Chains A and B, each alone.
Chain A
Amino acid sequence: MTSFTINGRVVEITAEPDTPLLWAIREHLKLTGTKYGCGLAQCGACTVHVDGEPTRACVTWLEDVAGKEVTTIEGLSEDGSHPLQKSWIAEQVPQCGYCQSGQIMQAAALLKNNPAPSREEIVDHMDGNICRCATYDRIIKAIQRAARES
């Protein structure tokens, strides 16, 4: 049994300690906004925050998060009102949308430490997140808009 906090709520999960956090989140807790894309820290679809740090849930074991605080896309804001969620809508970023939870979580970590990133800093920070629909240009615009408007 592993206990940790997710989106402000304490949970206990009965699973092997080396179970990827990704499956604990998606299939045990049914918070399916966090996605599986590669399982190898190659795509960023599974990005969540662990104690505020952007983390690939597919290569994080359950035992690694014992006692820690995990935030998923569902917990980023209560009602989709995080500045990035708003700017993502304003810029109409998603196409298939599958990568976008990971993109937004990755971007949220950037803005927390660097409220006015340059284009280069954005690209550098986001380069580990694949978008197969290639919405990259709008992702950049949405991050810039959120930085501007908040």
Chain B
Amino acid sequence: MKNELNVHTRSISRRSFLITAGTVGIAVSYGNLASQAFAATIATETAGNYRPNAWVTIDHDGTVTIISPASEMGQGVMTTLPLLIADEMDAEWSKVKVVQSPSDAEKYGNPGFYGIQLTGGSETVRGYYEPLRLVGAQTRMILLHSAAEILDKPVTELNTEPGMVVHTPTQTRISYGEISRLGKISDPLPQISKTDLKQPEQWHYIGKQDLPRIDVPSKVDGSAIYGIDVQLPDMLYGAVIRPPVQGETPATIDDSEAKNVVGITRIVRLPYGVGIIGETIEATIRAKEMLSIEWTTGSRIRNYSSASLIDEYRKAGSDLSQTGVNAVKKGEAAQAIASSDILIEADYLSDHVYHATMEPMNATALVSDDEVEVWAPTQGPTFTQGFAAQTAGTTTDKVKVHTTMLGGGFGRRAERDFVDDAVSLAKEVKGRPVKVVWSREDDVRHGKYRPLVAQHVRVGLTSSGAISGWQHRVAADSIFARTLPPVFEDAGGLDDVVTEGADFNYDMPTHEVEYLRQDNGLDIGYWRAVGCGYTKFAVECVIDEIAATRNIDPAQQRLELLAGEPRARKVIENTVKMSDWSRPREGRALGLAYSDSFGAHCAAVAEVSVNRENGQIRVHKVWTSVDPGVAIQPQNIEAQMTGAITHGISHALYEQINVVNGEVQEGNFDTYRVIRMSEIPEVEVSILGDPTQKPSGMGEVGLPPIGPAIANAFARLTDGARLRHYPFLPERVLEALNG
């Protein structure tokens, strides 16, 4: 099944943010919340209350309900986004209640991300930062106008403090709850502009106070509802068997035993597998084991073996007669390198990795004659609406999507397969909801892995050590060709997410990044930090290779290339200081890497040792500095950094999906190894925020620099032995040591 998506052009969603020419004024939609899909919950609780716009409702008791438009998958957006509104409107945080938005791109889409609801690319806080503060500021203005009327005072004499409007001359106070009871919302709505936003020193929450995360209490008493937890009256369960080799279909299905399992309702042939519907989850699992299916054998994926393909990709990357599409072209890098004195040339390889979200893929759907309802832990409610409509054979306006809590996302939950399963099976039993839960094995074997990538980097140096040219060739299959074909075609065969991170802020006289698309058909997808997760591996290791060639300090090498980048220099200098960089460590070494990904500046130093007998690498300690622009919630930034770095260590040392003749070899956590508590280093995080800067993304920032920091430490520990293939499995480490 093709993932045909319509991405409309970057547009501000009209009804919730009305941007007028010149100044940014915003008119906030008012009163039509009740007609919305999700409104049932809110409407019943807030009927008759004060709803200044689609985002905020104020109860008579002062409760402020704020809509959160993005998917909460651990990154903390369910707190971060509402607090932007709360701060500007001067809401009292203890009175704030957060409600997940319905799927409604027009109202709640991310203005910085094509106007759709899709949580990914570290775009959420970046895209909503200003619009949501404007919503908050206008809400405050509306409250002031209402209070002016109630108190019969000029609005110019009024001010706000958390939860209150204050008449300054008389010190008369009126709470937001009272305003909601007594006030009217002025028509037309008061207009505001960017100049009405608070100055950083006026903030209560942004960068000022670490608020406890809204979702945390429900995650320590078991009450948080993830997709897999959905329970509906009359609900059935579903399971889907997919072919061992992608793209094949059932040739014969023998269900004679399976259909007799007590509790089995239906066994159905799907275009891409076999579906089972039953009254209990255990019945569907039993039936799954008893089904005997012969699959067609014609898929071209049968030719797919990752170990030999990575070698082909490496050859493609280093064969300069093969040309690709330019992602970056600054000057004539190839020529400059040809006439340089010293050539540094290396191949960096990375195997497939799998998301391993702790919550396996799942979704629940209810299909009736003219309506589809989906409950899903999805990163992309807008796309989910489209996928469900397509599968059910209806239009998107007939589809309601309820976004549940997500037990991890990392890019996997932007996909459609789990939604297709639920809708396909629910179609078979109209009127009854069906919850489809993947087994861990289904989840491992039918992932949308990070691409298999070979990168060939060539750098020319003059005899004095100056870089004359930098050429970076990325050989990999395409993610966009599968997920967003129109985007891929429009870009002339370029795939931004596959090559991202190869562009950088190091100052280069010439710089060329080429994408050599490999087309072997296995589904690959967005994996935390996407392209930056491997391009920074190549870039940051090559920087160290240059420093080693020149015999200068790797930190010095970076600072030289970042002369015009004060923020970048600062994170490097700070991390160097934190780690006591020049102090030698007995039996260990430090390695450094820097990354400019997702709008942040981030440096990491890893302290590493290696067991030369068995090839095992150990990361003992990591120091990291991040400049995220405005540091909205430092405690959460610290958590995201530590998590992403630890995740990054896991993928650099252990994680690998092997595909042999089209079949994925791993099946569960016994074969797909992820980092455990006994393997984590201590991580020290320093946040160098600047409240006047826009916020960067935060969920992915920490991941790219840690792998190269480990490889660079290893080289410094071993007199220059280089690890150039992710993951650094013991046999690869031994090979580097002995070769």
Contact = CB atoms under 8 A, between A and B. Distances in A.
Co-complex (A, B) = yes
B574 interface: no
A15 B280 CA distance: 9
A126 B409 CA distance: 24
B437 A20 contact: no
B668 A97 contact: no
A19 interface: yes
A133 B645 CA distance: 10
A136 B649 CA distance: 13
B643 interface: yes
Interface string A111-150: 0000000000001101111111111111110000000000
A15 B279 CA distance: 11
What does DSSP make chain A's interface, helix, strand, loop or mixed?
A: loop
A10 interface: no
Nearest to B640: A95
Contacts of B639: 92, 95, 135, 138
Given A33-B222, A42-B668, A140 B407 contact: no
Contacts of A23: 280-282
A132 B218 CA distance: 19
B418 to A, nearest CB: 14
A39 B73 CA distance: 22
A92 B635 contact: yes
Given A40-B670, A96-B74, A101-B222, A131 B358 contact: yes
B231 A73 contact: no
A55 interface: no
A98 B408 contact: yes
Most B-side CB within 10 Å, residue of A72, A76, A124, A133: A133
B669 A42 contact: yes
B215 interface: yes
Interface stretch (B157-165, B609-617, B676-684): B676-684
A38 interface: yes
Contact of B650 (A94, A134, A139): A134
A137 B638 CA distance: 11
B74 A97 contact: yes
Contacts of B357: 96, 98, 132
B221 interface: yes
A9 to B, nearest CB: 15
B153 interface: no
Nearest to B444: A38
Interface string B559-579: 000000000000000000000
Interface in B668-716: 668-670, 674-678, 680, 682-683
B458 to A, nearest CB: 35
B484 to A, nearest CB: 26
B223 interface: yes
B262 to A, nearest CB: 8
Contacts of A123: 677-678
A30 B677 contact: no
A27 B262 CA distance: 16
A32 B231 contact: yes
A100 B170 CA distance: 51
Most B-side CB within 10 Å, residue of A38, A80, A98, A100: A98
B220 A85 contact: yes
B228 to A, nearest CB: 7
A141 to B, nearest CB: 11
Contacts of B407: 35, 96-98
Interface in B560-607: none
A36 B222 contact: no
Contacts of A133: 74, 358, 408, 643, 647
A123 B217 CA distance: 24
A136 B74 contact: no
B212 A92 contact: yes
A40 B440 contact: yes
A95 B220 contact: no
Interface in B71-86: 73-76
Contacts of A32: 222, 225-226, 228-229, 231
Contacts of B406: 96
Contact of B222 (A19, A31, A139): A31
Contacts of B359: 35, 37, 96, 98
B222 A72 contact: yes
Contact of A92 (B213, B221, B437, B678): B213
Nearest to A85: B220
Contacts of A131: 358, 677
Contacts of A27: 237, 280-282
Contacts of A39: 439-440, 668
Interface of A: 15-16, 19-20, 23, 26-28, 30-40, 42-43, 45, 72-74, 76-77, 80, 84-85, 88-89, 92-101, 104, 123-124, 126-140
22 contacts: A15-B280, A15-B282, A27-B281, A32-B225, A38-B668, A39-B668, A43-B358, A72-B222, A73-B221, A84-B220, A92-B216, A94-B74, A95-B639, A95-B640, A96-B357, A97-B216, A97-B405, A98-B408, A131-B677, A132-B408, A136-B676, A137-B683
Closest A-B pairs by Cβ, 5 of them: A33-B222, A97-B219, A98-B407, A96-B74, A95-B74
Interface of B: 73-76, 212-213, 215-226, 228-229, 231, 237, 262, 280-282, 356-360, 405-409, 437, 439-440, 635-636, 639-640, 642-644, 646-647, 650, 668-670, 674-678, 680, 682-683
